[in-house]
A and B are shown apart, each in its own frame.
Chain A
Amino acid sequence: GENVEQHPSTLSVQEGDSAVIKCTYSDSASNYFPWYKQELGKGPQLIIDIRSNVGEKKDQRIAVTLNKTAKHFSLHITETQPEDSAVYFCAASTNSGGYQKVTFGTGTKLQVIP
Chain B
Amino acid sequence: DVKVTQSSRYLVKRTGEKVFLECVQDMDHENMFWYRQDPGLGLRLIYFSYDVKMKEKGDIPEGYSVSREKKERFSLILESASTNQTSMYLCASSLGGGGYTFGSGTRLTVV
Task: Point out the residue from A49, A93, A99, A104 that lies within 8 Å of B43, measured CB to CB.
Answer: A104
- Give the total of A residues in contact with B, Cβ under 8 Å: 21
Query: Which candidate, B65-73, B74-82, B102-110, is the interface stretch facing chain A?
Result: B102-110
A49 to B98, CA, bound (A): 9
What 0/1 readout, one digit per residue, does chain A (26-47) give for beta carbons within 8 Å of chain B? 0000001010100001111110
| Residues of chain B at the chain A interface (Cβ within 8 Å) | 4, 31, 40-43, 45, 50, 56, 90, 92, 94, 96-105
Contacts of B96 in A (CB 8 A): 100
Task: Point out the residue from A43, A89, A95 that lies within 8 Å of B42, measured CB to CB.
Answer: A89
Q: Say whether B104 contacts A43, CB under 8 Å.
A: yes
A86 CB-CB contact with B under 8 Å: no
Can you list 12 contacts pairing A with B, beta carbon distance less than 8 Å? A6-B42, A36-B99, A42-B104, A43-B103, A43-B105, A44-B102, A46-B99, A89-B43, A93-B97, A99-B31, A100-B31, A107-B42
Contacts of A41 in B (CB 8 A): 104
Contacts of B40 in A (CB 8 A): 106
**A44 to chain B: closest CB distance in Å?**
5
Contacts of A42 in B (CB 8 A): 104-105
Q: Say whether A106 contacts B41, CB under 8 Å.
A: yes
Task: Point out the residue from A6, A32, A99, A107 that lies within 8 Å of B50, measured CB to CB.
Answer: A99
A102 to B4, CA, bound (A): 18
Q: Say whether A106 contacts B99, CB under 8 Å.
A: no
**A34 to chain B: closest CB distance in Å?**
4
> Given A34-B99, A44-B100, A45-B102, 7 other A-B contacts at CB below 8 A?
A6-B42, A36-B100, A36-B102, A43-B90, A43-B104, A46-B100, A93-B97
Residues in A14-29 with C-beta less than 8 Å from chain B: none
Q: Say whether A49 contacts B90, CB under 8 Å.
A: no
A99 to B31, CA, bound (A): 10
Output the nearest chain A residue to B9 by Cβ-Cβ distance: A41
Instruction: Report the 9 A-B pairs with minimum CB-CB distance, sorted nearest first.
Output: A43-B102, A46-B99, A106-B42, A104-B43, A34-B99, A100-B97, A104-B42, A43-B104, A44-B102
